[in-house]
Structures are given as structure tokens and as C-alpha cells.
Chain A
Amino acid sequence: MNAPSVSADLGSQLITLMAALMLVLQLLLVVENRVLTGIRLYAIQSLFLAGIAGVVAFFNNAVDVYIVAALTVLGKVVFLPWLLNRQVRRIQIVQEIEPLFNAPTAMLVCGGLTLLGYIVARPFTGLERLGNNTLAIAITLVLTGFFLMFNRRKALTQVLALLTVENGVMLAAIALTTYGMPLVVEFGIFFDVLVAVMILGILVYRIRESFASMDTSKLNQLKG
């Protein structure tokens, strides 16, 4: 451990706080019906993720992790929200239609998923490394992101949900390891996510053109 213990404690608290805020944002996303707000919520969530990475980098003096944080800010806080915003404007959707589960049920489910996240993460929490206690939140983010994905019907919301799952995974990476993943892997993941979103954007655009709708529940011609 490079950092002194007091500051490590501070860092740990900061990380926990930010992780908790990520979860709150996630829950907001679950009940939010407006797509543009959703994108903004995602941007803020990603910002917290970058913040966590920054804190880890600061307390561990790890240059690599700074790069990761920077990449996160560039990609997930700036570029992707911009891209999605542009998509939304191009295809003019404002509001998500009725989700599969209504808000109270969704919150209930998310509560259950959070519980599950804690149970799954319990064997690995309480370790001496920085940010380890956020693993439960990371898993919860993954699970609720997943839930969000099938709860919503608009293609863009589903993309957004996928991205939050991705945030959850990255949080888990930080939570479970000292410095996150090796840089080469981080780069790989980063570019994959970027390309994925771009391709998804292309598809969304084409679907919009062909179906005159962004409702994925209309994409049900292929059966059996």
C-alpha cells in the first residue's frame, strides 16, 4: 500500500459515496421515462465512474488508472452522450412508452436485485484493498442494467441500459482489483464499446427508417 492509511480511508469513503451515487442514478434511470434525461443521467453516472478511477489513481499513484479515468470522461461522459443525443434528435423521440413493469414494481425488483448483488458480493467485500466494498454496487448495477434493458422497449433506452451494465462491469473491475484491468485490455474494451455504440446507432437509424418506429416490441417478425 503506497498511500497513508488516513487518506486511504478518505479515498475509500469517497469511492463508496460515488459508487452509491452511481446506484442512485441507476435507479433514477429505471423510473425515468424521458430519453434525453436518461442520457444525461448516464453521463453523470459515467462521470462518477471516472471519479472513482481518478480517486484510485490518486491514492495509488497509478498513471495507468489516470489514463483510464481520462478515457472514461472522454468517451462515456462526452462522446457517447453526444452521439446518443444526436441520434435522439435525428429520429425525434422524446418519451419512452409504457415499460413492461410499472415504476413501483420496477423499484421492488431493483431492490431485490440489490439484495442479490450484496449476497453475491459478500464473500469478496471487506478486503483490505481500496474500493473493494463497491463490488456489491457493481453487481447491482449490472443486474439492474439488465433489468432496465428488458423493461424498456425503445431501442435507444436499451442501448443506454447496456451502457450502464458496462459501467457496472468497469466499476467491478476497479472494485475487485487494485488498479483496474491492464491498460491494453482497457483500451480494447473502450474501443469495443465505442464501436458498439456507433454500430448500434447505425442500426437504430436504419430501423427507424425501415419501421418508422423505435419500438423494439415491433421487431417481432422472426419467430419459431
Chain B
Amino acid sequence: MALLTSIVVVPAAAGLACLLPLPRRILAALNILAFGVALALGVALLRRVLAQDVVTECHEFLYADALSAWMVLLTSAVSLGSALYAGRYVQRDLDDQTITPGRAREFFVLTPLFGAAMFLVVLANNLGVMWAAVEATALSSVLLVALYNRKNSLEAAWKYVMLGSLGLALALLGTVFVYAAACKNTSEPFPSFNWSHLMPLAHQLDPHLLKLAFVLALIGYGTKAGLAPMHTWLPDAHSEAPSPTSAMLSGASLKVAIYALLRFHILTAACLGSGFSRHLLLGFGLLSMLLAPPFILVQRNLKRMLAYSSLEHVGLICTGVALNTPLTIFGALLHMGYHALAKPVLFFAAGNIHQTFHSLQFRAIGSGVVKMLPVTGLLMGLGAVAAVGLPPFGLFFSELTVISGGLAAGQITVSVLILAALIASFCGVLQQLARILPGEPKTGQAHSGRPFDGALAMVLLLGGLLLFSVWLPAPLLRGIHQAAGIIGGRP
């Protein structure tokens, strides 16, 4: 069975099927179905990868190792959550006449395509194809960001696509450099540009070219991953996109870009030793972590705050990888997963709040969200508890793993900085959410009357997070360890 192919094809097909004149419920169901299948296939892929180490398909066009499998799993989980949430969300926007039916269809078409592009990124064997797929994720999501067609969303989309495309142009240059390095070692006219062929040759590649390639890829994919200072599009796009899209952007797309970056990191490390790329990653990761808290602290917009929190987490993941000990890489990968489950919940809750209060400004929302929207408020509270890294949720654990790994590696300063940044962003998020969640609602605001909108998706994600926080199934744990081994260069 063509496992990898179906992971990419199923959502793509679902997206194209949504172009057909079907009722909206069917469209939503198709979305859910597509990502549900993808998730199931992801689980199957994990098993396969654990058994065979590497799975390839279509003449090695598609390639999956443990790292890819892990990415597939979390991308599909986030997407499934988004799809579950999206049905009611879009319906309500239609009821409020915030969007037109045509735009609703656009949403249901583009979302699975966006997902398919992400799957292609993590499954592509050819680095050039991977680049093209990353570009495809940007292009498929930009119209989603602009879905509301308001001034702000257009502005956000414009910045997203301009900065993203520019970044990706640089990443392409980086990709070209890698290819050039590959060409240098052989006299074949078209040497293979496949990951599976490049890796064994890595140590023979021209270090100078790879250095340049990594720098360019770092800026390029780093822009897409939202590393500071290339992150500037991130709060705009995350805050203006429809909430399901925000969730996918933050929960999956950022990590997919990191994945692309990681592939370059692995290659560079295999060629040059880990020092060069590691230090760069460390610098950018720390900068992202340290830059986020001040913005959270004085933020005025709920979803922008969540976006900055994502910046913080992306920084942590990069730092974890950059610390380059098995423990920190494991922690970083785990953190990717936990964050992928936690952040969408917050975006979904923010979506409900947006639809009820018609604003995301803290001041406009006012206090007392828990009283007006008890379910949403409660779940948001729990999600926030998870996202700021408090137990019993796993982010506490993964953050601690990264920090302790850093300390064990003798990087005391780095560990202290990570901790300081995390605490600062905790303070920010707490202070901001304490302004809106508890308290007495402003008078004159109508009750939504739809307390359970989107609750299923949120409960599923949070439940999953809680479950995996206290219990990691052995295969999953092994998968993550294997993936960490791939990144750390110890197969």
C-alpha cells in the first residue's frame, strides 16, 4: 500500500473535491475525513518507521524516517482539530455575514491543500521539492489569512506573503547551494538531490558551500518558522486569520518550517560538525525566546498575544535542538508535539471569543469571559495553563527537560536565559488572561447562547495533551527518541 503517497494525496484530493458544488456540511465532513485518515495513516507510518527505520515510495520521491513520522502525526492531529472546529466556526461566520458562501468554500478547499502541502514538506525526499512544498504551504495559507477580506487581514496577508516569499527565495538559494555542493562531488549531469542520497555523502560535501547554504536556509525557513527577527509577519498573520487557520499556522506550519530548517541543520552538522549551525540556531532561538515576553506583556490583542507565545515556543524548540544533547533534542521534539496540541485550543477559544465579542482587543472584550462563555473560558484557562508550561500538562515537562539538558551540558547561561524568558512570558500571559477570563462581564453584552461551539475539538486536543502528558505510549516514545537521534546525528 502506498502509505506515504496516500498521506499527501488524500487531503489534496479532499481539497479538490471541495471545489465540487457540494453542501457545506459535506465539505466540512470531507475536511474532517481527510485529516482523520491522515492521522490514522500517520499512526501506521510511525509503526512502519519503527520497524524499518526508513520508508520510501514512488522511486524514492517520498521518504519518511522517524522525524517525518512525528511531524506527520502532529500536523495531522492539529489539522484534524482545526477541521473539527471549523464547521461550526464557518457556519457562524456565515450567519453573522462576516464571510460570503464563496469564501466559505474557499476555506474548505484551501485548508486540506494547506495540509497536503505540509505533509509533502515532511515527506519529500528531494530538498528542492521540499522547498517547493514549503512555498506551497505559504501560498495555500495566504488566501486563508486574507479570508475575511478586511483591511487588517489583507495587510496581514500581504506581509505574510511578501516576507514569506522573500524568505523562501533565500531558502531556495540555500537549496541551490546544497545542490551545487552535491554536483561538485560527482560528474553525473543530474546528481540525485534526494535526502537519502545526500546524507551518506554529507561529509564529502564542500563545507564552504554548505555554510552559505545553511545561513540562507536559516534565514529563509527561519522566516517561515517565525524566528526573530524574521518573525514580524507572524503576529499579524496569526491574529487576522480565521481561528482554525491560526491554529494550523501556529500548531503545524511553524513546526513544518522548523522541520525544513532541521534537515539543513542535520546536513550541515554532518558535514561541518555541529558547531556552526548549532550556534546560529542557538542565537536565533534565544533571541526569539527573549523577544517574545515584552510583547506579550504589553499586548492589547488576544490572538497577537497567542502568536507571540508561539514565537516563544518556537524559540524554545530551536534552542533545545541547538543545545544538541540527546536530552534537549528529545525535549524539543516533545515540546513540538505538546505545543501543537495546546496552542490550537487557545486559538479556538479565541475564535469563540472573537465571534461573541466581535473584537480581539482585550479592552473591548473586558472581563468575565468565563461567565459569558463558561465552556470556552474554562477550556481557554486550561489551555493557557498548558501553554505557559504548568503541570499537569506536558509542556512543563518538556521545558524542564530542555533546561535541565542545557544545564547538564554545562550551558548554564543558556538555561538561565530560557528559564527567565519562560517565566517572563508566563507572567505576561497570566496577567493578560486574568484581565479577560475572570470577573464580572460588562453589562449590555448578550450571551452567545452557543456554549458548546467548538468544545469537541478543544476537549479532544486538551484530553490528548493531558493523556500524553502522563502517559507516552512506548512506540511513540521510541519514535521520538529515534527522531532525536536523527537530529543529533546519532542514528
- B-binding residues in A (CB < 8 A): 60, 62, 64, 120, 123-124, 142, 146, 149, 155, 158, 162, 165-166, 168-169, 172-173, 176-179, 181-185, 188-189, 191-192, 195-196, 199-200, 202-203, 206-207, 210-211, 216, 219-222, 224
User: CA–CA, A16 to B131, complex, Å?
Assistant: 28
User: CA–CA, A142 to B289, complex, Å?
Assistant: 30
In the complex, which residues of chain A have a beta carbon less than 8 angstroms from the beta carbon of B156?
Answer: 222
A165-B146 in contact (CB<8A): no
Determine the residue in chain B with the shortest Cβ distance to A192: B135
A199-B132 in contact (CB<8A): no
Q: Shortest 4 CB-CB distances between A and B: which pairs?
A: A185-B128, A188-B132, A176-B180, A219-B155
Q: Is B280 an interface residue (CB 8 A)?
A: no
In-complex Cβ contact of A196 among B165, B173, B235, B239 (8 A): B165
User: CA–CA, A206 to B156, complex, Å?
Assistant: 13
Stretch from B12-20, B295-303, B389-397, B452-460 that touches the partner: B295-303
User: CA–CA, A25 to B440, complex, Å?
Assistant: 64
In the complex, which residues of chain A have a beta carbon less than 8 angstroms from the beta carbon of B146?
Answer: 203, 206
Given A221-B151, A224-B304, A120-B212 contact (CB < 8 Å): yes
User: CA–CA, A138 to B131, complex, Å?
Assistant: 19
Chain B stretch 346-392: residues in CB contact (< 8 A) with chain A: none
B158-A181 in contact (CB<8A): no
A185-B208 in contact (CB<8A): no
* Most central of B139, B142, B189, B240 by chain A CB within 10 Å: B189
B133 to chain A, nearest CB (A): 8
In-complex Cβ contact of A181 among B128, B142, B236 (8 A): B128
A169-B149 in contact (CB<8A): no
C-beta contact mask, B155-194 vs A, less than 8 Å → 1, else 0? 1111101100110011011001101100100000110010
B179-A176 in contact (CB<8A): yes
In the complex, which residues of chain A have a beta carbon less than 8 angstroms from the beta carbon of B131?
Answer: 185, 188-189
In the complex, which residues of chain B have a beta carbon less than 8 angstroms from the beta carbon of A155?
Answer: 158
A196-B135 in contact (CB<8A): yes
B129-A176 in contact (CB<8A): no
Given A196-B161, A211-B151, A202-B236 contact (CB < 8 Å): no
In the complex, which residues of chain B have a beta carbon less than 8 angstroms from the beta carbon of A189?
Answer: 128, 131-132, 172
B240-A224 in contact (CB<8A): no
Q: Is B430 an interface residue (CB 8 A)?
A: no
A32 to chain B, nearest CB (A): 20
User: CA–CA, A219 to B132, complex, Å?
Assistant: 28
Determine the residue in chain A with the shortest Cβ distance to B176: A173
A169-B176 in contact (CB<8A): yes
C-beta contact mask, B137-160 vs A, less than 8 Å → 1, else 0? 001001100100111101111110
In the complex, which residues of chain A have a beta carbon less than 8 angstroms from the beta carbon of B180?
Answer: 124, 176-177
User: CA–CA, A184 to B124, complex, Å?
Assistant: 12
A23 to chain B, nearest CB (A): 16
In the complex, which residues of chain B have a beta carbon less than 8 angstroms from the beta carbon of A166?
Answer: 169, 172
A179-B173 in contact (CB<8A): no
Q: Is B291 an interface residue (CB 8 A)?
A: no
Determine the residue in chain B with the shortest Cβ distance to A210: B151
User: CA–CA, A178 to B301, complex, Å?
Assistant: 51
B169-A184 in contact (CB<8A): no
B259 to chain A, nearest CB (A): 18
Q: Is B136 an interface residue (CB 8 A)?
A: yes
A221 to chain B, nearest CB (A): 6
User: CA–CA, A210 to B162, complex, Å?
Assistant: 18
A177-B126 in contact (CB<8A): no
In the complex, which residues of chain A have a beta carbon less than 8 angstroms from the beta carbon of B407?
Answer: none
A181-B176 in contact (CB<8A): yes
User: CA–CA, A192 to B136, complex, Å?
Assistant: 7
B166-A149 in contact (CB<8A): yes
19 contacts between A and B (CB under 8 A): A120-B212, A142-B170, A162-B169, A166-B169, A166-B172, A169-B172, A173-B176, A176-B179, A177-B176, A181-B193, A182-B126, A182-B190, A185-B132, A185-B193, A192-B132, A195-B139, A207-B155, A210-B150, A221-B155
Determine the residue in chain A with the shortest Cβ distance to B61: A184
A162-B132 in contact (CB<8A): no
B149-A181 in contact (CB<8A): no
B176-A176 in contact (CB<8A): yes
In the complex, which residues of chain B have a beta carbon less than 8 angstroms from the beta carbon of A206?
Answer: 146, 149, 154
User: CA–CA, A166 to B154, complex, Å?
Assistant: 24
Given A181-B193, A199-B142, A202-B143, A222-B129 contact (CB < 8 Å): no
B209-A124 in contact (CB<8A): yes
In-complex Cβ contact of B165 among A62, A162, A224 (8 A): A162
A106 to chain B, nearest CB (A): 18
A224-B298 in contact (CB<8A): yes
In the complex, which residues of chain B have a beta carbon less than 8 angstroms from the beta carbon of A165?
Answer: 166, 169
B154-A199 in contact (CB<8A): no
In the complex, which residues of chain B have a beta carbon less than 8 angstroms from the beta carbon of A224?
Answer: 235, 295, 298-301, 304
User: CA–CA, A204 to B166, complex, Å?
Assistant: 17
B171 to chain A, nearest CB (A): 9
B407 to chain A, nearest CB (A): 34
A8 to chain B, nearest CB (A): 16
Given A142-B170, A149-B166, A224-B299, A179-B190 contact (CB < 8 Å): yes
In the complex, which residues of chain A have a beta carbon less than 8 angstroms from the beta carbon of B176?
Answer: 169, 172-173, 176-177, 181
In the complex, which residues of chain A have a beta carbon less than 8 angstroms from the beta carbon of B154?
Answer: 203, 206-207, 210-211, 219
Determine the residue in chain B with the shortest Cβ distance to A149: B166
In the complex, which residues of chain A have a beta carbon less than 8 angstroms from the beta carbon of B239?
Answer: 222
User: CA–CA, A166 to B172, complex, Å?
Assistant: 9
Determine the residue in chain A with the shortest Cβ distance to B180: A176
In the complex, which residues of chain A have a beta carbon less than 8 angstroms from the beta carbon of B152?
Answer: 221-222
Known: A168-B173, A189-B128, A189-B131. 7 other contacts (CB 8 A): A142-B173, A166-B169, A176-B177, A176-B183, A179-B190, A183-B190, A224-B295
